[in-house]
Amino acid sequence: MPELPEVETTRRGIATVMPGRRLRSLVVHEPRMRWPIPAHLSQTVAGQIVRRCERRGKYLLIGFDNGTMIVHLGMSGSLRRAPLDEIKRKHDHVEWVFDDARFLLHDPRRFGAVLWHDHGSGPVQTHPLLANLGIEPFDPGFTGTTLHQAFKNKKQAIKTALLAGDVVVGVGNIYASEALFRARINPKTAAGRLSRERCSRLHDAVLSTLSDALHSGGSTLRDYVNATGTPGSYFDIHAAVYNRAGQPCRVCHTPIKKIVQGQRATYYCPKCQAR
């Protein structure tokens, strides 16, 4: 599933092209996504100038004068640039067409979304999908201390607490496992049991893990490609535990263990992450 590094990599790709250009047309080939694409959307944005390309958590925000398009890549989606004359591929469901550029949303499972927040409805951050999101991990306000305070009295496992997104956004399943390994924290440990010092280690691990993923262009387990159609290389370079069940830990050589938490796979080293 595309996580914060993949979405941010995509945002950076489209942000070099879209802003300042007039959208000639939005072509919806398949409106049946996670939520139906609004029937009025193509008409609403046709001829409008893209003013900004931003991100909040795992959502891409394409801003116009009359509102903001909220795009989610779902479980296996990608948003890539394609030549104007390229034949549409199977599972290319939406096209953003400019005079000299074209972007296609590819989503085999159709778990993604393309929604609209009208300017008259207030700031896009008040949209129900965005209103309750936690702090961005690269925000200066995100620190080990704020992490410790937020987790205080939480009984849920730290891995589950990270995935919830109400404390810090964008630390999805892959990078939560990787960050917990770097911080030497067992994913089953109750979030409220973490000391201030361990939260500080986790904070640093989250930032370093996400930074490495960004520099690698994200990860590629299935279908993810960035805005230029290039797969990410995080797993080739950095992955320590994720998707490595039974393989030796890169630090102590103990076999990596896989468990399921909240219906999501968790990978960790039982020796390096003993508590």
Compute the distance between CA of residue 24 and CA of residue 174 in angstroms, rounded to an integer. Answer: 37
Say whether 34 is catalytic.
no
Instruction: Give yes or no for a contact between 81 and 228, defined as CB atoms under 8 angstroms apart.
Output: yes
Please identify which of the residues 11, 56, 58, 80 carries the catalytic annotation.
58
Three-state secondary structure call for residue 118: strand
Say whether 2 is catalytic.
yes
Q: What are phi and psi of 67, to 5 degrees?
A: 160, -170
Please identify which of the residues 24, 109, 188, 264 carries the catalytic annotation.
264
Report the largest interatomic distance among the alpha carbons of the chain, rounded to a whole angstrom: 58
- Cα 239–Cα 260–Cα 250 angle in degrees, nearest 5: 25
Say whether 108 is catalytic.
no
**Radius of gyration for the chain, computed over Cα atoms and rounded to the nearest angstrom:** 20
Say whether 55 is catalytic.
no
Other C-beta atoms lying within 10 Å of the C-beta of residue 137: 20
Active site residues: 2-3, 58, 264
